[in-house]
Structure 1
Amino acid sequence: MREEQLIHQTKLLKLAALEKENIRLRALLENSFKLGEQVLVAELLSINTEPYEHIVVVNKGTRFGVHPQQPVLDANGVVGQVFRALPLTSEIMLITDPNHAIPVQVNRNGLLTIAVGSGQLNRLVLPYLPSNADIRPGDLLITSGLGGTFPQGYPVAVVDEFTSQPNKAFATITATPKALLDRNRELMIVWSDSAPVPFISKPTVNEAEDKTHADK
């Protein structure tokens, strides 16, 4: 009796997990339609969130047409961009990586600036705004479209701190990413309307051999 109860509880837990996964996938799909872009859903394989390197690996690569600098999103906002694309996998640099910078604008007034990774998974910094800049906690930051990597209008972060210091030219401004960077299992790799998702090519002999060795 006890064994049957444990089996039943395990099945219920699995069903609950599947339901949550379906909710996440549905949110991704709904967000892709709102974007008006073509997307490819990729699953997370591994995470590296050391202080000076925020990189995740997903299960889609050049065989699916993925290439460096493509935007990557979740259902809530910008996650990062493709850093390196291999035949079967891709490395994604998160927006919180200290080597990552993304052109943004304040949704309220259009103020343009750059959001830079802080090395902390839940924080961005805006180091280039003067102390008298028209920005305040609660302001939504979206992609500005400048730089050519991220199309305009994607949610990036919400400002959570603004500190003006009279003896310094620039204010101390931090923001919290909209994307759930520490809770994603599926991500969206984005193509613009002018660059449609290509047909998936068949693996070459070398790629097939690499896949066979990887599975062993």
Structure 2
Amino acid sequence: MSTPLFIRTVSLRVRLTLALVLAFLLIFADHRLGAMQQARMFLNSVISPVQYLAVMPEQSLDNLVYRLQSRRSLIAENDRLKRDMLDLQGQLQRFEFLALENDRLRTLLASDERRERLRMVAEVIAVDSDPFTHQVVVNKGTRHGVYIGQPVIDAEGVVGQVVDVGVITARVILLTDQSHAIPTRAQASGIRVIAQGVGETNTLELMHVPHSTELQVGDLLMSSGLGGVFPEGYPVARITAIIRDESLPFAQVRATPVANLDRIRMLLLLWESDSEYQPLNGDATESANASDLPEERR
């Protein structure tokens, strides 16, 4: 039997159609059924050592620069820290008095006590290079009790939430990512609004704000606690611009996050004390609500 000179193969159009159908099925299975979650966790764990190796030169250089600081600057910094510690100790005494007074008032009003939270320090080890996403990678994962949807803050306020978890690392989406939104309320007026990321590291947009709003430039927005992701009362952003264009259905309101999202290095992961998710390695510390918040909120 002779072999035919020209063998018919599947056309490019059929190949493209099959590829598109397969891609659609994979997207559907991942979005609706979470079929790829385990695969992403495995790949994240495999890539983690590479991320550590990539950040190692920068960390080594930082350590070298720190060790080369002059003795005079270290003495000056030590004196400043002592003064700050004395000042904070004075504030702590005042806060303890206010906490006791608050407990007495809650008892008189028969109000529920606010639950305490556990927190753990995490370090940013990588930043997503994709210009259309605002995400960072931290050095805590399922090994430490981190879970998807966990709120993340820094010393100033809300940073974002965990969107992907590996064994020893986790990926955090920042407030300014275009796909992220957070329910907030104005500290002064109590008005509730949704703060949406627009893809810029220093800008949030408030959604569906009527022209007659009482919001003002300079108002501080706090997390409202709605949605069950972010705890209530953490600083989120400060309003910087309000444009009331009557030709548009809503006012255009812009705000700037209180956290320095383009310079974050150390973050805090939060757990509810009675949540099903808990830190696993004992590194977390327990605190009352006010103790892990920036001074601006109190």
TM tier, shorter chain? 0.7 to 0.9
Deviation at 1:192, TM superposition (A): 1.6
Q: 2:134 aligns to what SS in structure 1?
A: strand
The answer as to whether partners of 1:42 and 1:60 remain within 8 angstroms in 2 is: yes
Q: Which residue of 2 aligns with 1:166?
A: 246
CA shift in 2, pair 1:131/1:51, >3 Å = farther
Q: Which residue of 1 aligns with 2:197?
A: 117
For each residue in 1:7-28, what CA deviation from the matched residue of structure 2 results, as whole angstroms up to 9, or x when unmatched?
9x93329x76xx69xx8xx9xx
Q: Which runs of 5+ in 1 are unaligned?
A: 1-6, 27-33, 202-216
Q: Which residue of 2 aligns with 1:53?
A: 133
Name the larger-Rg structure.
2
Distance, in Å, in 2 between the alignment partners of 1:126 and 1:66 is 29
Q: TM-score, normalised by structure 1?
A: 0.76
Of residues 66, 69, 78 in structure 2, which corresponds to 1:11? 69
For each residue in 1:28-52, what CA deviation from the matched residue of structure 2 results, as whole angstroms up to 9, or x when unmatched?
xxxxxx9942101001101126442
The answer as to whether partners of 2:271 and 2:279 remain within 8 angstroms in 1 is: no
Amino acid at match of 2:68: T
5 Å-filtered alignment, 1:48-197, equals: 48=128, 50-195=130-275, 197=278
Distance, in Å, in 1 between the alignment partners of 2:242 and 2:139 is 38
Deviation at 1:113, TM superposition (A): 1.1
Distance, in Å, in 2 between the alignment partners of 1:49 and 1:106 is 33
Q: 2:259 aligns to what SS in structure 1?
A: coil
Q: Structure 1 residue 199 and structure 2 residue 199: aligned?
A: no
Considering fraction of residues, name the structure with more helix.
2
Deviation at 1:197, TM superposition (A): 3.4
Distance, in Å, in 1 between the alignment partners of 2:205 and 2:189 is 19
Deviation at 1:168, TM superposition (A): 1.1
Instruction: Kindly report the root-mean-square deviation, in angstroms, between the aligned alpha carbons of the 2 structures.
Output: 2.7
Flag the structure with more relative contact order, 1 or 2, with Cα contacts below 8 A and sequence separation at least 6: 1
Q: Which runs of 5+ in 2 are unaligned?
A: 1-64, 86-98, 100-114, 283-298
Q: 1:57 aligns to what SS in structure 2?
A: strand
Count of matched residue pairs: 181
Distance, in Å, in 2 between the alignment partners of 1:48 and 1:194 is 33
Distance, in Å, in 2 between the alignment partners of 1:98 and 1:199 is 32
Distance, in Å, in 2 between the alignment partners of 1:50 and 1:123 is 18
For each residue in 1:110-159, what CA deviation from the matched residue of structure 2 results, as whole angstroms up to 9, or x when unmatched?
11110000100011001211111111110000000000001110100000
Amino acid at match of 1:158: R
Give the fraction of aligned pairs with identical amino acids, expressed as a percent.
Answer: 41
Amino acid at match of 1:55: Q
